[in-house]
Amino acid sequence: MAFPISVLWKAPEINPINSKARSIPAFNPINKYGRVFFFSWWGFLIAFWSWYAFPPLLSITIKKDLKLTQKEVANSNIISLTATLLVRLLAGPCCDKFGPRKTFAGCLLLGAIPTALAGTVTNATGLSVLRFFIGILGGSFVPCQVWSTGFFDKNIVGTANAFTAGFGNAGGGITYFVMPAIYDSLVAKQGLTSHKAWRVAFIVPFILITATALAMLFVCPDTPTGKWADRHLAAQHNFERHHVVENVVHVPGSLSGQSTISDRKIQLQVCRPSVDHEVQLGEREMIDTAKGEIVVKPTLKEAMRVILTWQSLAMAAAYFNSFGSELAINSILGSFYLQKFPTLGQTGTGNWAAMFGLLNVAFRPLGGIISDIIYKFTKNLWAKKVLIHAIGVITGCFMIAIGVLDSNDRSTTFGLIAGMAFFLDAGNGANYALIPHVHPHANGIISGVTGAAGNLGGIIFAIIFRYNGTRYGRVFWIMGIINIGMNLAVSWIRPIPKGQVGGR
């Protein structure tokens, strides 16, 4: 085993400056790092479940009850993704200003309200409006990743982000199991009509979302050092505690690094006493951590400086394809299977479609783990970036194979979809394993923009599905070509800006 299994529950070593954990105590919810890890993935899983609660019942039950056309179903899928795109763009700056914990809980509570109102829908317009507001839940991905990044150090952050997002994305698979099961139970055991049963089913995710959001607010911290507003002061205190001396270090109060009223000048003196559970860092690394890796409050001008960089473009382009493809496929996969294998029925095709989302549990974390491993041995961020684009090209090849073969054989179709899911999910994990290294002082902004790009990809691919009707095979090979082309187009861009302080 590459690591002692006890790290999964014992208190982790921490970085002496930013207090981030150097391992993941996943089985220790008493420890604050383990608790935040749990709520990061669990909160996103519940959000993803509710966000995608309609598609499993939409192909037959809801479509029949509301007398929807195929185009109206496709339009509702697109509108749901549009809302999430907007929320993710806003969630990034909100994370940097108010902290990811409050932003996360806010997304969940705002999304819980329309989830509870699902039963009020009576027509296609109502469905589209409701799914737009439920799409707020999809924006919770950004605070999920920013919160995780804030608690785990760069040696393990790729793995932590991949696990929290991978477990969370599995909600897209769980919903294909759970929503039809709840619906079937309400019809068979409670005697409800189909018209009532699907509406009552949405109360279940509403309850879980609300309970999770309240638990986040009451039992979890903003940062490893306490309140979000005090994160700069915590870094100053840690310097003083370790008595390090060299030059004056400015804890940044703006994205540009220019001095503001909130700047703190920290006098450094050399002599670092040993502290329990603290990893020993070199003096230069401690200084770079303070200079470049403390998240600061954004302004619009400074945010645009971060967004309009080649590195932000490269991250956004890769996630546009990997997560965008996943979202679009998740929306149509039940219908795709129903078209090819009608004898499976709504529940059967839903179960098979669920496998696609559930593979995130293993495959997305694997992308982050591999990324962290190759970085550990190469000490070069180019290795992480090359991995992202290599996976993207292979994913495109699988999509082209699915589209060109357009097979009606179950083994062939399910096998190709599983192969595509492996690389699609791993690509998502690898992407957010590199994100914490890029503009680390503006992690919320870069996470939000990249996450929003994923949703934009989902919208574009959903539109392509919409205008191709049930010609799913054709859309798959079109998506494959786009995945390959865009990944190759940005593969030359440096992983981080030249001269960037921190993040290495």
Q: Of 171, 182, 144, 172, which Cα lies nearest the Cα of 160? A: 144
Residue 434's contacts (CB-CB under 8 Å, 6 or more residues apart) are 158, 315, 371, 381, 384, 385, 388, 495
Residue 130's contacts (CB-CB under 8 Å, 6 or more residues apart) are 114, 117, 118, 120, 121
| 360 membership: H or E segment, kind and range | helix 360-378
Q: Are 191 and 199 in contact (CB under 8 A)?
A: no
Condensed to tens digits (0 to 9), the pLDDT of residues 360-418 reads: 888 999 999 999 999 989 989 999 999 999 999 999 999 999 999 999 999 999 999 99
pTM of structure: 0.79
Q: Are 454 and 424 in contact (CB under 8 A)?
A: no
From its phi and psi, is residue 3 left (phi > 0), alpha (psi between -120 and 50) or beta? beta
Evaluate if residue 489 carries a pLDDT over 50.
Answer: yes
State the pLDDT at residue 357.
85
* Most confidently predicted of 104-113, 237-246, 251-260: 104-113
Q: Are 328 and 465 in contact (CB under 8 A)?
A: yes
Condensed to tens digits (0 to 9), the pLDDT of residues 413-445 reads: 999 999 999 999 999 999 999 998 888 878 888
State the pLDDT at residue 277.
60
Mean pLDDT confidence for 210-215: 97
Q: What is the mean pLDDT of the chain?
A: 85
Record the tokens describing residue 488, joined without a space. Answer: 């190759």
Condensed to tens digits (0 to 9), the pLDDT of residues 179-199 reads: 999 999 999 999 999 999 999
State the pLDDT at residue 269.
35
What is the rounded CA–CA span in Å between residue 103 and residue 116? 20
